[in-house]
């Protein structure tokens, strides 16, 4: 009758050793991940910042600003989500804005930067991030096709609001064969940026430069 007790007494030290080893392993792995995150956080942030600045330059007319548009920002919201508004100035006068926002696509959020001139016309659009299907939805990238350039010069007056859709939805913008959801999302995001600009342009155009 005492055999199970004896066996349990023999097993307990082994279990304790295994538990201790596991705890040490987990702690070491956690520490390694923490160190790796600490060392890669800054480079990743710098890379993202550089990509953002490059995208801002691509959606603003050349020579239209002389300020640091990456740092000259305002905060806004669209559908409860944060929107970063980059203000472009030349000689202190606001010449346009760039809205940094996201719209839900087929397989995740699509990051966009939308440049808008003082008169409400789009000066440029670029996709900054996405997880859309390669070979289909990724045609929203400027590196893949020129589709995104179709927004240049567009406004809420041209086309009219009800025509801010893909052609499949009786709009004016092309969709992709086998991938309608992705371009539909980008069109919605760009129009949303224009709507936001129309609602806040008086305040944004009058905003003072950062101190």
CB 130 within 8 A of CB 140: yes
How far apart CA 115 and CA 122 sit, in angstroms, is 6
**DSSP secondary structure, 60-100, as one string:** S-TTS--S-TTT-EEEEEETTEEEEEEEEEETTEEEEEEEE
How far apart CA 71 and CA 171 sit, in angstroms, is 36
Query: pLDDT digit string (tens) for 98-137?
Result: 999 999 999 999 999 999 999 999 999 999 999 999 999 9
Q: Give pLDDT, residue 52.
A: 75
Q: Is the pTM of this model over 0.85?
A: no
Query: pLDDT digit string (tens) for 62-71?
Result: 999 999 999 9
Work out the pLDDT band at 211, boundaries 50, 70, 90.
confident
- Cis ω on the peptide bond leading into residue 159 (within 30° of 0)? yes
Question: What are 31's two structure tokens?
Answer: 């520490």
Q: How many alpha carbons fall within 13 Å on the CB side of residue 73?
A: 13
13-to-9, 18, 177, 201 alpha-carbon distances in Å? 8, 9, 65, 72
């Amino acid at each position: 009758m005492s055999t199970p007790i004896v066996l349990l007494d023999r097993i307990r030290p082994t279990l304790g050793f295994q538990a201790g080893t596991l705890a040490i392993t987990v702690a070491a792995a956690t520490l390694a991940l923490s160190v790796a995150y600490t060392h890669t956080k800054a480079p990743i942030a710098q890379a993202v910042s550089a990509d953002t600045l490059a995208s801002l330059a691509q959606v603003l007319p050349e020579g239209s600003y002389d300020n640091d548009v990456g740092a000259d920002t305002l905060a806004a919201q669209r559908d409860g989500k944060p929107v970063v508004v980059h203000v472009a100035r030349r000689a202190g006068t606001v010449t346009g804005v760039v809205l940094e926002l996201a719209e839900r696509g087929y397989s995740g959020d699509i990051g966009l930067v939308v440049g808008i001139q003082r008169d409400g016309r789009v000066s440029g659009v670029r996709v900054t991030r996405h997880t859309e299907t390669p070979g289909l939805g990724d045609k929203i990238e400027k590196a893949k096709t020129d589709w995104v350039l179709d927004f240049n010069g567009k406004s809420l007056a041209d086309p009219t609001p009800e025509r801010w859709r893909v052609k499949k939805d009786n709009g004016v913008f092309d969709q992709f064969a086998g991938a309608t959801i992705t371009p539909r999302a980008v069109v919605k995001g760009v129009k949303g940026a224009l709507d936001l600009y129309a609602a806040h342009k008086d305040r944004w155009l009058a905003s003072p430069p950062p101190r």
